[in-house]
Amino acid sequence: MSTAAAVDREPLLELRGVRKVYGSGTAAFEALRGIDLTIQEGEFVAIMGPSGSGKSTVMNILGCLDSPTSGSYLFRGVHVEQMSRRQRALLRRHYLGFVFQGFNLLARTSALENVELPLLYRGEPARARHEEARAAIASVGLSGWEGHTPSELSGGQQQRVAIARAIVSRPALLLADEPTGNLDTHRSREIMGLLSALNREKGITILLVTHEPDMAHSAQRIVHFVDGVVDSDVPNGAVH
């Protein structure tokens, strides 16, 4: 994405002076200390940092799983921190997709049924759910595996199912929290290649939290957190 294009368009999301404090009094811990972050539609951004740097806290706020203590979170220009709990839930359901380190698949449920879940929560009819879930599974390279349960799939295949579940509702933003943390090097590269393809070919905005530099190099930007602040935010010269 060119700088000129980024300037002309409203950001997908923006954090302005976001602070997050846990506890109170002498036990208070400031996890975020005035974060400013802007992400445009279609970007692939990696967030890195040591344990306790604030990267997971930012992910939770952006995913509407937590709220900032102060500051603003804007999603397509709308102040998320001013939304009700129900409004934030609707934002999650219709605009956000999540991929986690632990896959979080239902153990006794087929890959197809796992991928259908977000559509079920949205009240879509069964026929539409089946068609969209099959298409999502095909997009992650698992056609023919729809009837298999997680125990019948490898770790890499399980993560592909989790990614299909995250994108089946066509989210504006995909939040991936250490998605390769439980995978070996070969399968980790496969998953990062898949995420890059989804970003490039489908235009899905991706925010990746990772502690692995090799995985972060798939992103267009790398934002490094230290002690609750943004230490650096630079383009990734390895991506063309």
**pLDDT (tens digit, 9 = 90+) per residue, 144-178?**
999 999 999 999 999 999 999 999 999 999 999 99
Given a cut of 80, is residue 140 above it in pLDDT? yes
**What's the burial of 238, exposed, middle or buried (CB within 10 Å: 0-12/13-18/19+)?**
exposed
Count of C-beta atoms within a 10 Å radius of residue 32: 26
Nearest to 37, CA basis, from 173, 233, 186, 240: 233
Given a cut of 80, is residue 224 above it in pLDDT? yes
**pLDDT for 238:** 56
Helix (H) or strand (E) holding 157: helix 155-167
* Overall average pLDDT of the 202-229 stretch: 93
Asked whether residue 13 is domain-assigned, the answer is: yes
**pLDDT for 9:** 72
231 vs 239 pLDDT, higher one? 231
Domain count, the chain: 1
Q: What is the CATH number of the domain that holds 119?
A: 3.40.50.300
pLDDT-wise least confident of 74-78, 102-106, 133-137, 202-206: 102-106
Q: Which domain does 179 fall in, by range?
A: 3-235
Which tokens belong to 100?
């986690």
Asked whether residue 210 is domain-assigned, the answer is: yes
Q: Are 182 and 217 spatial neighbours (Cβ–Cβ below 8 Å)?
A: no
What's the mean per-residue pLDDT of the chain?
91
Radius of gyration of the chain (CA): 18
Edge to edge, the sheet with strand 13-22 lists 29-39, 13-22, 70-75, 78-79
**pLDDT for 193:** 93
1 vs 50 pLDDT, higher one? 50
* Overall average pLDDT of the 113-133 stretch: 92
Asked whether residue 96 is domain-assigned, the answer is: yes
Asked whether residue 240 is domain-assigned, the answer is: no
- pLDDT tens digit sequence for 180-194: 888 889 989 999 999
Asked whether residue 99 is domain-assigned, the answer is: yes
Asked whether residue 77 is domain-assigned, the answer is: yes
Given a cut of 90, is residue 8 above it in pLDDT? no
- pLDDT tens digit sequence for 44-61: 999 999 989 999 999 999
Gap between the Cα atoms of 26 and 203, Å rounded: 46
